[in-house]
Amino acid sequence: MINMSQSLNEIRQILGNEADDFLNYTCRGIPKENLYPPGPDFIERIVEQSDRNNRVLNNMQRLFESGRLANTGYLSILPVDHGVEHGAGADFAPNPIYMDPKKIIELAIKGGCSGVASTLGVLGSLSRRYARKIPFILKINHNELLSKPNFYDQTLFANVDQAYKMGAVAVGATIYFGSQESRRQIKEISDAFDYAHDLGMVAVLWAYLRNPDEFIKDGVDYHDSNDMCSQADHLGATIEADIIKQKISTKNRGFLELGFGKTNKLVYEKLAPTEGLSEACKMLEWNRFQVANCYMGRVGLINSGGPSGENDIQEAVKAAIINKRAGGWGLIMGRKSFQRPMEQGLKIIRAVQDVYLNKEITLA
């Protein structure tokens, strides 16, 4: 494993002319003093106050003590459930070696990841060999696109007992907040997380918005609107998710523009302000508001890496800086790392980790 980290100057070069805004801005909506920031003592400082039992704390500690970010209070997770969610041909065609579960786990281990999140089939096929070598997060529900017409629902493909028997440290699940099926999913996953905690496992929620008929208006997609994503985060914390995965917010005012839900003008004017700010500073404010909705950081916010594109290192480093400076716990990045040759994927994973290892990059 390569342990050399990029310097702040190297990170600045990746950020280009946005470097000062990303690295020097101080959030004026929710001040950093109000947060419970990540750190190597987070479990003792915050989590042990909760109703989680000692086995949950042990498994959470194992996540925090694994990989390149061990004992920093930050996480770097490789998620590969895309063969179900997007289609194996669709997402593995750029690099078909990852149709082999062993290559997925190899990427996570070589990349110094804190854990690997995947399906029952992927993790179960190698659990005896690898579950003790890298923390497993079993994703128990999925959407699939073989149904015609496609629809948006998360169906249980696995259960909590299967995660426990394979030696997973955590269960993961998605709720499509805003979908017609969301109320059933909330109950289903709340029950699953409760049982997972009883068995000593950490609960990780993919808290995604999904309603293309209602959440897109006049060509603008509000699935990553800050006010709506933050409410999804808050609902996830309510069902006792320990870690919440969410998209980086790139816009706001979804509730107002779509004309539903309840909000307050102070959300836009004071708590997540945008007036006079650059896009970089807006994203720091918006994602700080996400952390605030995760009980001011008591629940860990990890952001997704998003789809693969032409500027993946730059976009991944930006996402990591937004997450870290907002008060989040880390990045969970899949397609940017596995849809390319392994060495290139490892380079992107390490570039993200370098942001969290750099002590000069602090809370905004």
Distance CA 97, CA 103 (A): 7
Q: What is the pLDDT of residue 1?
A: 43
Residues across the chain:
364
Whether the CB-CB separation of 244 and 300 falls below 8 Å is answered with yes
Q: What is the pLDDT of residue 279?
A: 97
**203 bridge partner residues:** 171
- Calculate the CA 361 to chain-centre distance: 19
When the candidates are 1.10.10.10, 3.40.50.300, 3.20.20.70, 3.10.310.10, the CATH number that belongs to 8-355 is: 3.20.20.70
Q: What is the pLDDT of residue 4?
A: 66
Whether the CB-CB separation of 325 and 282 falls below 8 Å is answered with no
Residue 108: name the closest of 69, 139, 73, 141 by CA.
69
What is the per-residue pLDDT across 73-127, written as a single tens digit (0 to 9) for each?
A: 999 999 998 888 888 898 889 989 999 999 999 999 999 999 999 999 999 999 9
Q: What is the pLDDT of residue 82?
A: 85
Instruction: Look up residue 277 and give its amino acid.
Output: L
Backbone angles phi, psi at 347, to 5 degrees: -60, -40
Instruction: Look up residue 104 and give its amino acid.
Output: I
Q: What 3-state DSSP class applies to 311?
A: coil
Distance CA 21, CA 17 (A): 9
> Which ranges of the chain have pLDDT less than 70?
1-4
The residues carrying an active-site annotation are 245
Backbone angles phi, psi at 31, to 5 degrees: -70, 150
* Two structure tokens written together for 13: 């070069």
Q: What is the pLDDT of residue 3?
A: 53
Q: Provide CB contacts within 8 A for 32, sequence distance 6+.
A: 26, 327, 363, 364
Q: Where are the domains of the chain?
A: 8-355
Q: Is the dihedral of CA 168, 326, 14, 90 positive or negative?
A: positive
Q: What is the pLDDT of residue 86?
A: 87
Cis check: omega of the bond before 341, within 30 degrees of 0? no
What is the per-residue pLDDT across 181-212, written as a single tens digit (0 to 9) for each?
A: 999 999 999 999 999 999 999 999 999 999 99
**59 bridge partner residues:** none
